[in-house]
Amino acid sequence: MKQTMKVLIIALLLSAGVLTTLSARDKSIAVGAQIGFTSTGVIADIGLGSMYVQAGINYPLGITYIAAQTDSKDKFFDIYTFNADVSQAFALSDNFDLKVGIGTTAFTNFGPVVIGFAGPVLKGEYWIPNKNTGLFLNLNIPLIAYGFVEGDTNFDGGIVYNPLLPLVGLVTSTVGVLYSF
């Protein structure tokens, strides 16, 4: 049993070392823009070997569009979204990476309310040959919802699981462009 575990750990370390050198992107820092129903804004993607950390500051244009089509007085909501993820890159070709990781999308009004979704993330990145520009698709698969509401007598925060939460990924997923330097 212990021998099998040692062999497995050594194999994982060797494969992680090999995968560290494989990536479609030559530079470790990239910035860009993304567009999605709940997340339209700027992002930064930082490479740490074959691991990548991405963070974005966004505005929910899709929700704002729906509000503008109603009789609501509020045409622009006082809600902002933040997204972040940590992912492992797998080079499928010289120009294409598949990234698998975990991530979150959080909604806040910079006040007493924070609501978000967290779960696995699948990302495809295509880097244009001999250019510093890449295109990406970010698919979120939320498994939990979390939140905090200050001063609410009915709900003051917590974590919720529902089997239908992965459907929220249809509106939290994004597409965009990255520029590495």
Task: Give the tens place of pLDDT for each residue, 83-132.
Answer: 999 999 999 999 999 999 999 999 998 888 889 999 999 999 999 998 99
Statement: the pTM of the whole predicted model exceeds 0.85: no
Number of domains in the chain: 1
Q: Please name the residue ranges forming H helices in the chain.
A: 2-20, 61-68, 169-172
**Residue 61 is encoded by which pair of tokens?**
């244009």
Domain boundaries, position 163: 2-180
Per-residue pLDDT of the chain (181 residues; tens, 9 = 90+): 577 767 767 766 666 555 544 556 667 899 999 999 999 999 999 999 889 999 999 999 988 888 778 766 656 677 899 999 999 999 999 999 999 999 999 999 888 888 999 999 999 999 999 899 999 999 999 999 999 887 766 666 788 888 999 999 999 999 999 999 8
Q: DSSP assignment of 1-45, as one string?
A: -HHHHHHHHHHHHHHHHHHHT--S-SSSEEEEEEEESS-EEEEEE
What's the gap between Cα 172 and its chain centre?
9
Q: Let me know: does 13 contact 25? Beta carbons within 8 Å.
A: no
Tell me, what amino acid is at 179?
Y
Q: Let me know: does 33 contact 41? Beta carbons within 8 Å.
A: yes
Q: Let me know: does 122 contact 99? Beta carbons within 8 Å.
A: yes
176: helix, strand or coil: strand
CATH number at residue 141: 2.40.160
